[in-house]
Chains A and B, each alone.
Chain A
Amino acid sequence: MHRILARALSLVAAACLPVACGSGPATAPDPEPIADQAITLVTHDSFRVSQGILEAFTAETGVTVTVENAGDTGQMVATSILTADNPIGDVMYGVDNTFLQRALDAELFEAYESPALANVPMSLQLDPGHRVTPIDFGDVCANYWIDRFGDDLPVPVTLADLVDPVYRGLLVVENPETSSPGLAFLLATIAEFGDGWEEFWKSLRINDVVVTASWDDAYYGEFVSGGGDRPIVISYASSPPAEVIYADPPVDTAPTGVITDTCFRQVEFAGILAGTTHRSAAEALVDFLLSDTFQEDIPLNMFVFPASTTAALPRAFVDHVVLPEDPYTLPPAEIGANRNAWTERWTQIVLR
């Protein structure tokens, strides 16, 4: 908590020193040498990176990186807001567009415009002030159990299809008050129906939607994959490939599919935490997160797409992962301003 005071003192000292010592005229400051610095990357529990990747960064710059996992995204943001005056790290990676505004409102980040942004599509650069830098993106979509659908029961195509009585009792969703995919799906319906979203959810309730508190309760408790009886679940566009990669015994094709017109895009960002004493090293790390070395390592570790267009996608990923053409999005500021009101209203409509 005294770090601000310490920094103020060191600034004063730095300002006085050249004069006091009479060491000659002040020269333009060189870029701060970053070799041998140690910085901390705060991230969520889903963060995974292959062996040797962060070491490559150290070999390149001399900066060592310690990773601190701080829970899920919501918890990571809450933790960082609480510790804003004495941050637990120098760079945060993993805040997404649903939590972005909260982090920006708390002034967690220092602006930094990475040169590597040249390779990142503008559609992902959601903060014009560059307080955060997009690193990866993925989609939350309705998944379905293929065997349960066929000629007599076609796979639903759009969000609106889900309230069709033929799909009565087939859908399980997560509570947007307690689950990240649950919130993303609510946002998809708001992006699609505008003010009509409340009517949609009233109809969904009539169509016997089941709500669970968490993703695992939905996927393993109610969805067919875990032994439940519901063949449609809100999950990720990357869930079918995971069903293949982590199948036991091995399978060639996933038992599940993605309904691509129901997807909400989640973009994850990195930002330099305000108050860092290693600004230059932190900038180097953000640049590195957008480098091909890191970007190409993302897909098979975290099952999301790299933000940089220069990164090559692994074959195994391209073969299995669906990339929806036109997913739903909402501006982070709109999400930030309304999410609590939306989820409260949602609770009234669906649970009460």
Chain B
Amino acid sequence: MTARHLGRVAAVALPAVFLGVFFLYPVAAIVGRGLTGEGLDRLTGLPGSASFRSVAWFTLWQALVSTVLTVVVALPGAHLLARHRFRGRAALRALTTVPFVLPTVVVGSAFVALFDRFGLDDGAFRMRHTVWAILASHVFFNVAVVLRTVGAFWEGLDPAVEEQARVLGAGPWRTFLSVTLPRLWPAVAAAASIVFLFCTTSFGVILILGGPTRATLETEIWRHAVWRGDLASATALAVVQFVAVVAMVVVANRLQRRRSVDERSTFRLPPHPTRRLLGANLALLATVLLLPVAVLVERSLSVGDGYSLRHYGALANRVNLLPVSALVALRNSLLFALVATALALVVGGLASLVVVHGRGWVSRILDLGFMLPLGVSAVTLGFGMLIALDDPPLDLRSSRWLVPVAHALVGIPFVMRTLVPTLRSIDDRLREAAAVLGASPTRVLREIDLPIAGRAVAVGAAFAFAISLGEFGATSFLPRQPDRLTAPLALFRLLGTPGELLRGQAMALAVVLMVLTAACVLVIESRGRFGSGVVRGDL
């Protein structure tokens, strides 16, 4: 009894302490510092400032439109992945996580090259430095979030319900809108809220693709804090961003709780898709995801007049711009990603259990709190960690742990947003039956929750891993020793000096990063499926 009690306390305490020490305390420290003195005046002066209002409005609407577009583009693919089996399904799933590791600069130039090729970027319709470029790349970066989290949930829904609707005479659209969508809602809301937060705080996309006249709260915080040395104004904006994000997360959580599905899928072998369905879906995904990627691959191979693997071979040699070779940077990134994923799984997993099984304010705060790192600017978090975690026993500023911790903070929301809806959808009667038959809570967890949620755990882990591999913002705000260079930072450095050689290496590094991500995601997911095959035969 005491051991069980202790376990419960630990399950709550570990995530709570992690969130408190590594997120809330640093953010509070930097906000506290910034608001002393002029900061408060700046904050109260914001509503009256026309430029602030336009920045806030643009931040909001571009994020909203990006989110809606992402959901619309991703849902058909999620249906394909959830309801059909076809050759290459696992590979397609893994491929979709690739955009997460691609730096904005690289994706941006790929998009521009694409528009060039199709003649979209000349006088008549110039994509560069327009809001369209921002929206298109936000869809590119985030489509996987909806595709995967909704897809994993969709797989668990019983297709018999739709079939009954069809038998009763509903058309495919009617069936989707009034039967499928309402049941999918918790997962759609969860995914959309993540996408929305991501788009709210996206940085390079706005600055590079949007051009010099577009600004969001995120770019303005950075500009004031770093470029103008005006911490007071930066903090005032950071407070607004924080409050807005909390409000949005609260609303999103409401939407998500509104309906929790209470059903179990009957096992059946998913059908093969019709050729037309498969073709149409793949064409859509290919346009959004594969074309930019194909451009990168082409560039990484191109040398002078022809093609060669030369740039790939060069990755093992250190160019004197970088403190270590690109290969070492890749190894660093992989190590950081492994640690960050483990942290995200343990902390996010425990937090999910607390959210699903716990009641009261603790579970609600964890549910909300772990979403916040997605919506808080990298500047706020990075600078906050610098001034908060600077004393023993928590002098982590030059510790090798700080980077994985910062990455895990971004990964945890993914683990939770995939896990929580799935855990909620597990029929409580199943757990009760097990308990009645004498299973301990741990055993119930192991035999009921984990097998059913296995797919969701794997998807969450895959995201945490891919995000850590590609993370740039928070990493760049933490001081680091030269030999701990990560691959995205190396890529950024390579693109910071002229020369075909460096550019070729950067492209090759981007492609290796993509391939590595896809491969790791495949492994994580095939390992991470636990017993899900037993429950619903994931073939």
Q: Residues of A with Cβ closer than 8 Å to B?
A: 1-2, 40, 42, 45-48, 50, 66-72, 74-75, 77-79, 81-83, 86, 88, 102, 175, 177-178, 211-217, 219-221, 225-227, 235, 239, 242-243, 245-249, 256, 300-301, 303, 340, 343, 351-352
Nearest CB of A to B448, in Å: 48
Are the C-beta atoms of A239 and B304 separated by less than 8 Å?
no
Per-residue CB contact flags for chain B residues 88-113 toward chain A (1 = under 8 Å, else 0) read 00000000000000000100110011
Are the C-beta atoms of A88 and B498 separated by less than 8 Å?
no
Known contacts A88-B397, A242-B497, A248-B304; A217/B481 CB under 8 A: no
Are the C-beta atoms of B227 and A178 separated by less than 8 Å?
yes
Q: How far is the CA of A289 from the CA of B389 in the complex (A)?
A: 31
* Residue of B213, B231, B303 touching A351 (CB-CB under 8 A): B213
- B225 contacts which chain A residues (CB < 8 A)? 78
- Does B489 have its Cβ within 8 Å of any Cβ on chain A? yes
B363-398, CB < 8 A from A:
383, 386-387, 390-391, 397-398
What are the 6 tightest A-B residue pairs by CB atom distance, in nearest-first order? Answer: A246-B499, A248-B501, A246-B501, A248-B500, A213-B207, A175-B212
Among A40, A78, A243, A300, find the residue whose CB has the most chain B CB atoms closer than 10 A.
A78
Residue of B nearest to A223 (CB): B498
- Does B288 have its Cβ within 8 Å of any Cβ on chain A? no
Q: How far is the CA of A46 from the CA of B498 in the complex (A)?
A: 14
Are the C-beta atoms of A211 and B212 separated by less than 8 Å?
yes
- A78 contacts which chain B residues (CB < 8 A)? 225-226, 229, 231, 383
Q: How far is the CA of A225 from the CA of B498 in the complex (A)?
A: 8
B171-214, CB < 8 A from A:
207-208, 211-213
Contacts across chains A and B counted by CB atoms under 8 Å: 147
Among A81, A214, A217, A227, find the residue whose CB has the most chain B CB atoms closer than 10 A.
A217
Nearest CB of B to A123, in Å: 26
- B493 contacts which chain A residues (CB < 8 A)? 45-46
Nearest CB of B to A258, in Å: 12
Are the C-beta atoms of A214 and B208 separated by less than 8 Å?
yes
Apart from A74-B227, A178-B212, A178-B223, what are 17 other A-B pairs with CB-CB below 8 Å? A2-B391, A48-B320, A48-B321, A48-B322, A69-B480, A81-B229, A83-B397, A177-B227, A213-B207, A214-B208, A220-B495, A242-B498, A243-B498, A245-B499, A247-B500, A301-B320, A340-B228
Nearest CB of B to A345, in Å: 14
Q: How far is the CA of A285 from the CA of B404 in the complex (A)?
A: 32
- A217 contacts which chain B residues (CB < 8 A)? 105, 108, 208
Among B113, B212, B304, find the residue whose CB has the most chain A CB atoms closer than 10 A.
B212
- A303 contacts which chain B residues (CB < 8 A)? 497
- Does B503 have its Cβ within 8 Å of any Cβ on chain A? yes
* Residue of A79, A178, A245 touching B207 (CB-CB under 8 A): A178
Are the C-beta atoms of B481 and A68 separated by less than 8 Å?
yes
Q: How far is the CA of A227 from the CA of B117 in the complex (A)?
A: 12
Q: How far is the CA of A42 from the CA of B386 in the complex (A)?
A: 14
Nearest CB of B to A77, in Å: 7
Are the C-beta atoms of B229 and A249 separated by less than 8 Å?
no
* Residue of A48, A102, A178, A221 touching B112 (CB-CB under 8 A): A221
Nearest CB of A to B42, in Å: 14
Are the C-beta atoms of A243 and B499 separated by less than 8 Å?
yes
Are the C-beta atoms of A66 and B481 separated by less than 8 Å?
yes
Are the C-beta atoms of A68 and B321 separated by less than 8 Å?
no
Residue of B nearest to A233 (CB): B498
Nearest CB of A to B504, in Å: 6
* Residue of A77, A177, A221, A246 touching B498 (CB-CB under 8 A): A246
Are the C-beta atoms of B386 and A82 separated by less than 8 Å?
yes
- B323 contacts which chain A residues (CB < 8 A)? 48
Are the C-beta atoms of B482 and A86 separated by less than 8 Å?
no
Q: How far is the CA of A77 from the CA of B499 in the complex (A)?
A: 29
- A300 contacts which chain B residues (CB < 8 A)? 320
- B128 contacts which chain A residues (CB < 8 A)? 221
- Does B75 have its Cβ within 8 Å of any Cβ on chain A? no
Known contacts A82-B386, A88-B397, A246-B499; A212/B212 CB under 8 A: yes
Are the C-beta atoms of B383 and A247 separated by less than 8 Å?
no
Are the C-beta atoms of B499 and A247 separated by less than 8 Å?
yes
Are the C-beta atoms of A177 and B223 separated by less than 8 Å?
yes
B484-521, CB < 8 A from A:
489, 493, 495-504
Nearest CB of A to B28, in Å: 14
Are the C-beta atoms of A67 and B499 separated by less than 8 Å?
no
- B228 contacts which chain A residues (CB < 8 A)? 177, 340, 343
- Does B477 have its Cβ within 8 Å of any Cβ on chain A? yes
- Does B479 have its Cβ within 8 Å of any Cβ on chain A? yes
Provide a sorted-by-A list of 23 A–B residue pairs whose CB atoms are within 8 angstroms: A47-B482, A48-B320, A68-B398, A70-B479, A77-B229, A78-B231, A82-B231, A88-B397, A177-B212, A211-B211, A213-B211, A214-B207, A214-B208, A220-B105, A227-B116, A235-B498, A239-B497, A243-B498, A246-B501, A247-B499, A248-B304, A248-B499, A343-B228
Known contacts A70-B479, A220-B503, A246-B499; A86/B390 CB under 8 A: yes
* Residue of B311, B386, B503 touching A79 (CB-CB under 8 A): B386
